[in-house]
Amino acid sequence: MRFVRQIFPIFVLCAIVFAQDAPDGAKKSEQNPPVKVNILNVCTPSADDQRELRAALARPPKTPSFATDYEISRGVSTVEPGKSAKYVRLRRELKSDSPLTTIQYSLSMDPENTVETLVFRGRDVKDLLALSIEDTLSTSASKPAAVVANETPASRVHLERLGKTTVALVRCEKVDQSQYEPIFTQASLVLANYRRVLRLRTILADDLSWLRSAPR
C-alpha cells in the first residue's frame, strides 16, 4: 500500500504535464469543431437543382391508391411569444405498391397569414425522402373552405434527399424568376390535383368550420 500511495501522485503529475504540453491547435479543435454550413439558393436554384425539382414533382401519382388508414388532427401552436396559429392536418397512407408511403396536408392560420402545405414521403428514400409544396395567403382575405376549394398557386417547393443537400425554390420579390415559372406551374398543378383526390372539402368539413370560428 505504501508503494501505491507513493506512485499515485507521480501518475497525476504526468497527466497534468501531458495536458500542459498538448498542442494548442489540438485543444482548440476539440473545443471548437469545424461547422459545415450549407446555404440554399432558394430564389435562383442552379440548372441541376431545377432538374431535381422537376423530377421530384413528377413522382406523385395523379390517382394515388390510398390505404384505409388515415388521421385527422387539429390544434393550436405558438408561432412566437403572444402569437399563435390554429391548424388542421390530414395524413393519408398509401398502399404498399405506391412509390409514396404517406401524404400529409395541413392548413395553418395565424392573424396575418394562412399557410397551406402538402408533404409527400417516398417509399424508397434513395429516390425521394420528402417533397413539400406550400402556398401562403392573407388570413383576412381567406376563408378556410375557400382555400381548399380554390387553386391557389404554389409559392414554395422544398425537396429533401438522402445523403444530398436540400433543394428549394421560393417566390422572391425583386428577383426575375421567369425561368422558374414552369416549376411553380408544375407544383401548383400537383397541389390542385391533391386538393381534389384528398377530398378536402368533404373530409375536413367540420375541421374547416372549427378553424374559422374558433377564437385565436
User: pLDDT for 100-128, tens place per residue?
Assistant: 999 999 999 998 999 999 999 998 877 78
Question: Taking the domains of the chain in order of start, what are their residue ranges?
Answer: 2-31, 47-213
Torsion angle in degrees (nearest 10) through CA of 178, 167, 88, 63: 80
Lowest mean pLDDT among 81-95, 105-119, 202-216: 202-216
Across 161-165, average pLDDT: 86
Q: Is 4 helix (H, G, I), strand (E, B) or coil?
A: helix
C-alpha cell at 199: 377530398
Quick one: CA torsion of 53, 161, 117, 102, rounded to 10 degrees?
Answer: 120
State the Cα–Cα distance between residues 78 and 12, nearest whole angstrom.
52
**Is the pLDDT higher at 30 or at 22?**
30
For position 33, what pLDDT does the model report?
60
Phi, psi of 43 (to 5 degrees): -85, -40
Q: How far apart are CA 187 and CA 140, in angstroms?
A: 25
